[in-house]
Structure 1
């Protein structure tokens, strides 16, 4: 079920009414409604994969309970690794089986040996990477004695399958989200209004920005041999805003929807395209995944402690695995490696934490130095996205080589130039709105500060009008495939 679908537009009010009007006085019943609703939401794609969520829920609930009772360190490690191997085993099979098989065959073919094996027609369960990491954090935190295991299976099942963030995050920690299922929740009008406002902004990002940018990004990337270098630069920029609008739009809808039910999810995007260096970018982009890898992989490996070799090793490990998490393709691994190369000089010179505050905080405009740093960081990011979007490595290098050719100085040519120009203007207005809202949790949060209702509703109706005018063919969210 897509957030930008009629199905969800019907589903959400029904669940909302059941949750607040029929189960308002019973916390366990509210949690039960969340579990049932979440399973319906996920089963809308393919009901067969509900068994995976159920298995993961029971597995980590049981192991978490046993970890808390067990004091023998060796047995505790066995329990922990059982959870890790089982969860990552399912993830690896569904997501990476054919990738490793194909590369295994290619390696033997390189040495002149033919290996006859058949790839499997494996369907990737939607959101498996997200809920796998969410349940793993629960088990790991109990093992580290940072969290007490829950005895309430319904609450834990609700935590694992919570439908707003089940499919594409944010990846919530049990330490933050799970306790919210224990507490009595009362309806708060102001919180619900704020949630609806964030949902509206997320839909705008997805439908108006991402889906319209995707039309031109797909056109250019899928036919890159036919376009000049200058047009390919436009294609990379279209994809840069497509992936941001698509993924951060999903996060906004998920966070806003959660707020309707009395839950607070953590911010997943903090205006990353206004970053002044790559370290700041990765503190602001897909925050829930970046911090997950930091806490459960990078720091246990030694982090930035130790000698220069350890710092280099850990940086490349974290970024390469992050790239591989996104998909079974060498393009993602190269994308992760490239970001490690971007990040490493900042780490080695101890400049990776220079920009912790919001750029130009309290000011309308950045300084020339800040603007230059933002443009450089944005350019490096857009360049790396070429590998992320390309079909394969050859396609990526072909695309890049044409950018760095004499055709870079030709006038870009696009089909339906007038519509493309309108989309570019909309993107510019979108960036301007994000800039003036960058100190908030999401860009239009400050609309709620307007005292006069006519101003608020004027902006709401304008956004709704743009969504209605620029909606096209319904498209899935990019991160569903991860």
Structure 2
């Protein structure tokens, strides 16, 4: 069930009505309804994998209690590592086994040994990377005594399986969501209105920006060998806006839907393409994942407290693991490696925390430098996105090589593809709206909000009628 589908447009109002007008007597009935709705929502993808979600939920619920009750350190460690190994084991089998088997087979064949990998004929359970990380953070926090174990199974189940964040995040923390789950929610009209506005703006990003850019990005990436330099640059830019509109659009819808039920989710995007360096970009892009790796991998490895080589090592580890988290393909690993290389000069010069203030522009030279920094950072990001989008490393390398070797900057693609100029204008308008509202959670609030909402809905319906793309990119992760 997609957020941008008719099925969800029917599902959401029904759950909303039942939540506030039928099951609104106690916190327990509210939570029970949301769990049933969440399991139904997940089973719409493939009911056969519902057992994985239930098993993962029960595993971390039970091991969390055993860790807290453990009378010895050995007992606590046993239950802790049991949860870690089983969770990561399921993730590796379903997401990475075929990748490792194929890669190892290719390595043996490359050095002269004939090998045929034994592959598993399984599909990737949607959302497994996200709900696995929910459970892992919970168990880790209990082990290090940052939180207490949750003894109410219904409350904990809702934390793991809450449908707005279930299949593509944001990756929630028990410290943030569980306290909200444990109290009865009261309806607040203003919060619900903000949620509706955020849902609509998320649909604008997805249906109008991401899905439209996808058509053109796919046409260029799938035929890059016949494209000139300018067209290939356009392809990278189109994909940059496709993945931003797609993923941040999903996050906006998830946050907006959750507001309808009186629950606040972690913000996942903060206008990342206005970043002045790569460090700032990663503080603004997929915030819940970046902060997860920071808190549960980077800091335990020593963070930036050790010597220079430890800092470099930890930086590359976190970016490589982040790339690998996205999918079982070497292109994602290289994408992570490239971002680590981008980050390295900032780390070495101790300037990775320079741009943490809000952007303020004036008519002076410093503002010119800021705009140049934003364009430079966006350009670096687009180059990295080529590896993220390409099917193979070879395709990505040849794509970039052709940008510099073609040296043809004529409007080849623009002139041969319908509505190309209109798309560029639409992207430009979208950037201006985002820039004007860069200090807001979503741009539809404020003055003339009803007019902006009406125009947004009309545009969504117009573009959605002709859209060929329904799935969200991050569902595959």
Provide the TM-score with structure 1 as the length reference. 0.96
Change (3 A) 1:363 1:293: farther
Cα deviations by residue, 1:426-457 (Å, 9 ceiling, x for unpaired): 1111111110111112333xx2x32xxxx222
Report how far residue 85 of structure 1 moved.
0.5
Change (3 A) 1:364 1:159: farther
Report how far residue 73 of structure 1 moved.
1.3
Establish whether residue 463 from structure 1 lines up as the match of residue 456 from structure 2: yes
Establish whether residue 218 from structure 1 lines up as the match of residue 218 from structure 2: yes
Report how far residue 411 of structure 1 moved.
2.9
CA contact (8 A) 1:99 1:329 kept: yes
Establish whether residue 52 from structure 1 lines up as the match of residue 52 from structure 2: yes
Establish whether residue 478 from structure 1 lines up as the match of residue 468 from structure 2: no
| Aligned residue runs from structure 1 range 213-362, under 5 A | 213-360=213-360
Other structure's SS at 1:164 match? helix
CA contact (8 A) 1:131 1:166 kept: yes
Cα deviations by residue, 1:243-264 (Å, 9 ceiling, x for unpaired): 0000000000000000000000
Establish whether residue 439 from structure 1 lines up as the match of residue 432 from structure 2: no
Change (3 A) 1:201 1:219: same
Report how far residue 406 of structure 1 moved.
3.6
Cα deviations by residue, 1:128-186 (Å, 9 ceiling, x for unpaired): 00010011000000001111111110011111100001000000001100111111100
- In 2, Cα distance between the equivalents of 1:408 and 1:179? 58
Other structure's SS at 1:45 match? helix
Other structure's SS at 1:404 match? helix
Runs of 4+ with >4 A deviation: 361-366
Report how far residue 475 of structure 1 moved.
1.7
- In 1, Cα distance between the equivalents of 2:206 and 2:387? 22
Cα deviations by residue, 1:271-318 (Å, 9 ceiling, x for unpaired): 000000000000000000000000000000000111111011000000
- In 2, Cα distance between the equivalents of 1:470 and 1:395? 31
Cα deviations by residue, 1:303-349 (Å, 9 ceiling, x for unpaired): 01111110110000000000000000110000000000000110111
Change (3 A) 1:154 1:363: farther
Please name the residue that 1:70 is paired with.
Answer: 70
Other structure's SS at 2:360 match? coil
After the TM superposition, which of the residue ranges 230-239 and 114-123 deviates more from structure 2?
114-123
- In 1, Cα distance between the equivalents of 2:14 and 2:409? 55
- In 2, Cα distance between the equivalents of 1:209 and 1:420? 13
Please name the residue that 2:10 is paired with.
Answer: 10
Aligned residue pair count: 475
Query: What value does the CA root-mean-square deviation take over the aligned residues?
Result: 1.5
CA contact (8 A) 1:360 1:366 kept: no
- In 1, Cα distance between the equivalents of 2:416 and 2:160? 45
Report how far residue 203 of structure 1 moved.
0.2
- In 2, Cα distance between the equivalents of 1:51 and 1:406? 52
Please name the residue that 1:396 is paired with.
Answer: 396
- In 1, Cα distance between the equivalents of 2:362 and 2:134? 36
Gaps of 5+ in 1: none
Establish whether residue 177 from structure 1 lines up as the match of residue 177 from structure 2: yes
Please name the residue that 1:155 is paired with.
Answer: 155
Provide the TM-score with structure 2 as the length reference. 0.97
- In 1, Cα distance between the equivalents of 2:282 and 2:72? 38
- In 2, Cα distance between the equivalents of 1:109 and 1:84? 33
Gaps of 5+ in 2: none
After the TM superposition, which of the residue ranges 113-122 and 136-145 deviates more from structure 2?
113-122
CA contact (8 A) 1:230 1:408 kept: yes
Other structure's SS at 1:88 match? helix
Report how far residue 365 of structure 1 moved.
12
CA contact (8 A) 2:228 2:402 kept: yes
CA contact (8 A) 1:279 1:353 kept: yes
CA contact (8 A) 2:414 2:421 kept: no
Report how far residue 75 of structure 1 moved.
1.8
CA contact (8 A) 2:30 2:184 kept: no
- In 1, Cα distance between the equivalents of 2:95 and 2:164? 23
CA contact (8 A) 1:4 1:474 kept: no
- In 2, Cα distance between the equivalents of 1:186 and 1:415? 55
Cα deviations by residue, 1:17-65 (Å, 9 ceiling, x for unpaired): 1100001112101100010000000000100110000000000000011
- In 2, Cα distance between the equivalents of 1:113 and 1:154? 53
CA contact (8 A) 1:209 1:245 kept: yes
